Structure 1
Amino acid sequence: MAEQSEENEKSEDPTQKRLDEALDRGDVAKSQEVSTWFVLAGGTLVLMAFAGSMGTSLRASLAGLLANAHLISADGAGLTRLSGRLGGEVIAAIAIPILLIALFAVAGNMIQHRLVWSAESLKPKLSKISPAAGLKRLFSKVALVNFAKGIAKLALLGTVMTMLLWPERDRLEALVTLDIAAILPFTSVFALKMLGFVVVIMAFIAAADFFFQYRQWYERQKMSQREIREEFKQTEGDPMIKARIRRLRETRMRKRMMAAVPEASVVIMNPTHYAVALKYERGDNAPLCVAKGIDSIALKIREVAQAHAVPVVENAPLARALHATVEVDQEIPVEHYRAVAEVIGYVMGMRRGLRN
C-alpha cells in the first residue's frame, strides 16, 4: 500500500506534453494583479498624453452648449439631437484613450501566456454549483492567500496615499477658497503624482503575485510516477510491444538477407565473427551489400553461401571495416573500392580458372 501511495503521489515535474495539454484546456498561470497593473499603467500614460486634448475638446463643446443654451429646442426631437451630438463629441474625445487602455488590458493577459482558444471553462460542471465544493474553495489555501494579499495591498496603498496627502493637507484645505480654474492644474498634477506612486507599488505586487500564481499552476501540473509511465506508453509505445516489433523486424530482415545471399558475388568474413555479402555485376557503379551480420548470423550467411556455391573469402580487417561502414542495400564506401576490387578480381580469376 505504501508503494502504491508513493506511485500515486504527484511529486514529479510535469512533462512538456502535460504542460501543453494544460494550455490547450485553458489552464494557464495567470495573475489578475498583472492585468490590473497594465490597465492602471496604461490609464496613467493615457491621462498624461491625452488629458489636455480631451479636456480642451470637451470644454469647447460644453462652452458652446452653455453659450447657445437659449437656442436649444426643448422638445423631444431637439433634445434627441442634442444628446446625439454631445454623445458623438464625447466618444470622439475619449475613443483613442479608451482603445489604448483596452490594448493595455489585452497585453496584460498575453504577456503572461500565449493566446489560448478553449471552450473548456464554458462546459457545465457540477462542482461549480456544489455547496460543498464552494465551501472548499472559500476556505482553501488560495482563497486565504488572496484575502491576505488584498488586505496587504489595501494597507500598503493606504499608507502610501497617507504619506502623500498628509504634507499637502493645508493646501488641500485652501482649495475650497480658490477659483475652479486655479484648482484644476493643482489637482491634475497631484492626481498624476499619486497614480505614479500607485503604479510603482502595484508593479512589485503584480510581480510577486505572478510568481506565486505560476508556482501554484506548476504544482497543479505535477505528475505521479504512474502518470509518467502511462504518458510514456502513449507517446513512445509500450516497451514490450516495441521490443516485439523490433524482433519481428529483425526476423524479417534476416530472412530477406538470407534470401539474397545466393545472388551475392562474394562473402567476405573473418573466421567466425563478421560476414558481409556483396553483389557486383558489370556496369554497376560499385558493389552492393546484400547481407551482413555477426556471430550466429555471420555463420548462417557463410552456410547459405557455401550451400549455393558463393565464394567465401576470409579477410578479417576488410570484413570488420565493411560491417561498420555499409548498410544492407547500400553501395560500399569509396575508401573500400580498391580492397573489394582486389577480392572480386580474385574471385573472378578463380571462376575463370575453374571453367578452363
Structure 2
Amino acid sequence: MADSSAQERTEQPTPKRQEEARKKGQVPRSRELSTTVLLLSSALGLVLIGEPLLQGLADLMRQGLQLERAQIFEPKAAILQFQQGVGEAVKIITPFLALTLIAALAAPLLMGGWSFSAQSLGFKWEKLNPAKGMKRIFGPQGGMELLKALIKFLLLSGVGCLLFWLFSPDLIALGRQPFVPAVFQLAHLMGWSLVGLSASLALIAVIDAPFQGWNHTRQLKMTRQEVKEEHKETDGNPELKGRIRRVQREIASRRMMAAVPQADVVVVNPTHYAVALNYEQDKQGAPRVVAKGVDQVAIKIRTVAAGNNVPVLSAPALSRAIYHSTKLDQEIPAGLYRAVAQVLAYVLQLRQYQRRGGPRPQPIPNEFPIPEDLRRD
C-alpha cells in the first residue's frame, strides 16, 4: 500500500521538469484564448478601418473596369494594369493583414509563450499511435473539448440570434437605400456582429485558460521517487556527498594533528578552546595557527601537544580571540602581536630553563592586551 501511494503523482513539477517539457514543446496553451484574441482583433480592425478599406477596393475595381479603347487592343497594357491593380490591392489590405498577423503572434504570449526547440519542431511518431488518439478522444480531454464545442454552439447561436434581433430594423432598412450606401452599411453591421460574436467567445476563454494551466501542471506532476532521483542528478547523492565531507574532515583533522608536534606553543581555554601556534622568524612575518579546535578536538590537541613536549599555556581570552579571528594556516592579526609575543617570550625562557637550569621564569599572566574588536567573551 505504501509503495503504491509513493508512485502517485502528488508532487508539483520542479523547474527542471518544466524546462524539459518546454523543450519538448509541452507548454500550457489555450486554443480558445488564441482564437478569441485573433477574431476579436480582426473584428475591431474591420470596424475601425473597414470603411476606408472597402472604399479603396471599390475605387480600385471601378478604375480597373474603366478601360480606354486603345487599352482593349493592347495585351501588354491589360497585363500592366492588372499588375498595378494587384499592387494597389495589397497596399490597401496590408494594414488589416498586419493587424491580424500581430494578433496571431501575440496571442500565444498570453499563455505559455513560444517554443522553438528542436524537440518541439521535430516529427513525433507517437502522435500516429491510434491507442493514444482514441484515449484523447474518449478521455477527460476529449470530454472537455466536446463540452466546450457544445457551449460554443449554444453561446454563438444565442448571441447571433440576439444580434439579428437588435440589427433587424437596420437590415430591413437596407432595401430602401441606394446600392453603394447599403453595401457600406451592411459591412458596418457585419463588423459589429463579428465583434459581438468574438467577444462572446471570451467567456469560454476565461474558463478554458485557467483549466489548461491546471491541466498542464497536473500532467507534469511527479512522484516522490522522481523528485528524489532528480535531486540526485542535479545535486548529487546526499549520502555520497555526506560521506565525502566526513572523509574530508577526517583527512583535515589528521593533517592538523600531525602539525601539532611542530608547534611552539598551544594556548588553551582549559575547558573549551585550544590553538597551536608556530613561529619561524626567518620564514614568517608573524606567528601562524597550525591547529585549532573546540571541545573534543581541543582535548585531542592538548593530548598530542603533551605527548610531544609542546608547552600548553592557559590564556582563555587570548585562545578565544585567536580561534575566532584567525583561520587555519593563517597568520594572527596585528592586534594580537603583543599578546602572542609575550607568550612566545615566556616559552623561550621556559625552554632555556629546561636546558640550562637557573632561575625559573615567572608565570605569564592570564590576561593579555587584546583589542576590543578581537575579544570574544
Q: Matches of 1:95 and 1:49 in 2, distance apart?
A: 14
State which drifts further: 264-273 or 139-148: 264-273
Deviation at 1:57, TM superposition (A): 2.9
* Contact 2:64–2:85 (Cα < 8 Å) also in 1: no
1:108 counterpart residue number: 107
Task: Say yes or no: does 1:27 pair with 2:7.
Answer: no
Helix, strand or coil for the counterpart of 2:221? coil
Q: Matches of 1:232 and 1:286 in 2, distance apart?
A: 46
The 1:4–1:76 alpha-carbon spacing in structure 2 relative to 1, beyond 3 Å, is: farther
State which drifts further: 154-163 or 184-193: 184-193
Task: Say yes or no: does 1:323 pair with 2:323.
Answer: yes
Helix, strand or coil for the counterpart of 1:240? helix
Counterpart amino acid of residue 62 in structure 2: A
The 1:345–1:149 alpha-carbon spacing in structure 2 relative to 1, beyond 3 Å, is: farther
Deviation at 1:32, TM superposition (A): 0.8
1:311 counterpart residue number: 311
* Contact 2:43–2:192 (Cα < 8 Å) also in 1: no
The 1:111–1:178 alpha-carbon spacing in structure 2 relative to 1, beyond 3 Å, is: same
1:275 counterpart residue number: 274
Deviation at 1:80, TM superposition (A): 4.0
Task: Say yes or no: does 1:37 pair with 2:57.
Answer: no
Residues 1-356 of structure 1: matches in 2 within 5 Å?
2-68=1-67, 70-73=69-72, 80-271=79-270, 273-282=272-281, 287-332=287-332, 339-340=339-340, 342-348=342-348, 350-351=350-351
Q: Matches of 1:287 and 1:61 in 2, distance apart?
A: 97
Deviation at 1:247, TM superposition (A): 1.5
State which drifts further: 278-287 or 165-174: 278-287
Helix, strand or coil for the counterpart of 2:36? helix
Counterpart amino acid of residue 219 in structure 2: R
Q: Matches of 2:67 and 2:43 in 1, distance apart?
A: 35
State which drifts further: 111-120 or 30-39: 111-120
Helix, strand or coil for the counterpart of 1:290? strand
1:316-337 CA deviation, whole Å, 9 max, x = no partner? 3443454345432344467756
For the aligned residue pairs, the C-alpha RMSD in angstroms reads 2.9
Counterpart amino acid of residue 210 in structure 1: A
The 1:173–1:50 alpha-carbon spacing in structure 2 relative to 1, beyond 3 Å, is: closer
Helix, strand or coil for the counterpart of 1:88? helix
State which drifts further: 13-22 or 181-190: 181-190
2:361 counterpart residue number: none
* Contact 2:22–2:115 (Cα < 8 Å) also in 1: yes
Helix, strand or coil for the counterpart of 1:278? strand
Q: Matches of 1:254 and 1:270 in 2, distance apart?
A: 20
Deviation at 1:296, TM superposition (A): 3.7
Q: Matches of 2:194 and 2:123 in 1, distance apart?
A: 41
Which TM-score applies when normalising by structure 2?
Answer: 0.82
If you compute each CA radius of gyration, which structure gives the higher value, 1 or 2?
2
Deviation at 1:210, TM superposition (A): 0.9
The 1:165–1:302 alpha-carbon spacing in structure 2 relative to 1, beyond 3 Å, is: same
* Contact 2:36–2:199 (Cα < 8 Å) also in 1: no
Deviation at 1:220, TM superposition (A): 0.7
1:20-57 CA deviation, whole Å, 9 max, x = no partner? 22122211111111211221232134324432442343
1:265-300 CA deviation, whole Å, 9 max, x = no partner? 432223354322233455966543322223443233
Q: When the two structures are aligned, how many residues end up with a matched partner?
A: 355
The 1:278–1:176 alpha-carbon spacing in structure 2 relative to 1, beyond 3 Å, is: farther
1:219-238 CA deviation, whole Å, 9 max, x = no partner? 01111111111112112211
Counterpart amino acid of residue 110 in structure 1: L
Q: Matches of 2:161 and 2:73 in 1, distance apart?
A: 47
Q: Matches of 1:208 and 1:336 in 2, distance apart?
A: 71
1:145-199 CA deviation, whole Å, 9 max, x = no partner? 0111111122112212211211332331332342122213422432333233334
The 1:296–1:110 alpha-carbon spacing in structure 2 relative to 1, beyond 3 Å, is: same
Q: Give unpaired runs (5+ residues) of structure 1.
A: none
Counterpart amino acid of residue 17 in structure 1: K
Q: Matches of 1:334 and 1:54 in 2, distance apart?
A: 85
Identical aligned pairs, as a percentage? 35
Q: Matches of 1:126 and 1:87 in 2, distance apart?
A: 43
Q: Matches of 1:242 and 1:53 in 2, distance apart?
A: 72
* Contact 2:277–2:287 (Cα < 8 Å) also in 1: yes
Helix, strand or coil for the counterpart of 2:276? strand
Helix, strand or coil for the counterpart of 2:275? strand
1:103-162 CA deviation, whole Å, 9 max, x = no partner? 211111123124422233455555322322221111011111011111112211221221
Which TM-score applies when normalising by structure 1?
Answer: 0.87
State which drifts further: 292-301 or 274-283: 274-283
Helix, strand or coil for the counterpart of 1:250? helix
